[in-house]
Amino acid sequence: MLTIQEALSQGTRLLDDERIVAPRLTAEVLLCHALHCERVYLYAHSEEPLTELAWIHYGRYLKERIDGKPTQYITQQQEFYGRAFFVSPDVLIPRPETEHLVEAALKYGRNSRMAIDVGCGSGAIAVTLALELKHARVFASDISPGAVKVARRNAETHGAKVRFLDGDLLAPVRDGSMDLVASNPPYVPRTDEPSLQREVRDFEPEVALYGGPTGNEMYGRLIPEALRVLKPGGWLIMELGYRSLKPVRRLLHSEWRAVQAIDDLGGIPRVLVAQKVP
């Protein structure tokens, strides 16, 4: 039977031959998943032989990754804002860029009593807001029942008090009831589908990716609905697609003020903040 060190070398070579990015790191993460251990264990026990069961599991995970399945769907886990979230193919894998949205929501919505995450997916935003915004009642909605199930599970795991609403965007929300509307809506243009990475195109849920032919269609629906449910002076905070800033700005009419875009670490406008005129 191979040792941990040998298994890592073999796995890294296999992944590298198939042009998987970060082959060594991926092999380590997959081997840890097979062994139910932390990465440091691999180095402290590098000469230990793998059990037959661990070898079988590791081999299966390597095959899944080579076939394009994202590592996070194999390990069923993704870190977001310092917490581990369960993920399944029913939800988008939370991205680090979305932490900029959370930062903006915590800044502008810090005094919120009522907040909602629209299109909650795994619940990464809603759970984080519920844990970080001490005075807010946090709601979350998603059109996908599978996503709501995953988000509920994450809220329970983290002891976050989130109330889940079923329905299309903000349809289940009363007029003028919210201080904060946060959303990372689907914004990939349908026309980009052929050029997406296969990990995204073939494995992440379509309903979480595509925002319509131009990608901006969901903003066109979300902005007027947010205007309806926000209290005067309430904040709308949305993640932006990489070509969304201009068209989305055009949708924010005189009922909005303090409109600003926040760049991500790559210098791309990633978050749009707007306040409903008080």
Closest CA to 60 of 87, 85, 33, 24: 33
Q: Is 215 in the site for ligand SAM (CB under 6 A)?
A: no
- Using the rule CB under 6 A, is 14 a contact of ligand SAM? no
Q: Which stretch binds ligand SAM (CB under 6 A): 56-64, 89-97, 257-265, 267-275?
A: 89-97
Compute and round to an integer the Cα radius of gyration of the chain. 21
98 binds ligand SAM per the rule CB under 6 A: yes
Distance, first Cα to last Cα, the chain: 69
Window 156 to 195, contacts with ligand SAM (CB under 6 A): 168-169, 184-186
Comparing CB distances to ligand SAM, the nearer of 59 and 205 is 205
Question: Burial, 95: exposed, middle or buried (Cβ in 10 Å; 0-12, 13-18, 19+)?
Answer: middle
Look at residues 101, 95, 120, 89 and name the one whose alpha carbon lies nearest to residue 206. 89
Among 120, 129, 136, 227, binds ligand SAM (CB under 6 A): 120
Residue with smaller CB distance to ligand SAM, 61 or 85: 85
* Residues of span 194-213 touching ligand SAM by CB under 6 A: 207-208
- Nearest approach in angstroms of CB 211 to ligand SAM is 8
Residue closer to ligand SAM (CB basis): 89 or 247: 89
The nearer residue to ligand SAM, 42 or 105, going by C-beta atoms, is: 105
Question: Does 147 participate in binding ligand SAM (rule CB under 6 A)?
Answer: yes
Applying CB under 6 A, among 125, 129, 240, 272 the residue interacting with ligand SAM is 125
Q: Could you say whether residue 251 binds ligand SAM (CB under 6 A)?
A: no
223 binds ligand SAM (CB under 6 A): no
Check if the beta carbon of residue 65 is closer than 8 Å to that of residue 16.
no
d(CA 228, CA 176): 6
Q: Is 241 in the site for ligand SAM (CB under 6 A)?
A: no
Whole-Å CA distances, 119 to 29, 56, 146:
29, 37, 12
Q: Is 131 in the site for ligand SAM (CB under 6 A)?
A: no
Q: Tell me which amino acid residue 167 is.
A: G
User: Whole-number minimum distance, CB 126 to ligand SAM, in Å?
Assistant: 8
Tell me: does residue 263 bind ligand SAM (CB under 6 A): no
Phi, psi dihedrals of residue 165, rounded to the nearest 5°: -120, 135
List helix spans (H) across the chain: 4-17, 23-35, 39-44, 52-66, 71-75, 98-108, 124-132, 145-157, 198-201, 206-209, 217-229, 245-251
CA 63, CA 259: separation in Å to the nearest integer? 47
124 binds ligand SAM (CB under 6 A): yes
Edge-to-edge strand list for the sheet holding 162-166: 162-166, 137-142, 114-118, 178-183, 230-239, 269-276, 256-263
Considering only 3-11, 15-23, 56-64, 143-151, which stretch makes contact with ligand SAM by CB under 6 A? 143-151
Tell me which residues touch ligand SAM (CB under 6 A).
Answer: 91-92, 94, 98, 119-122, 124-125, 141-144, 147, 168-169, 184-186, 207-208
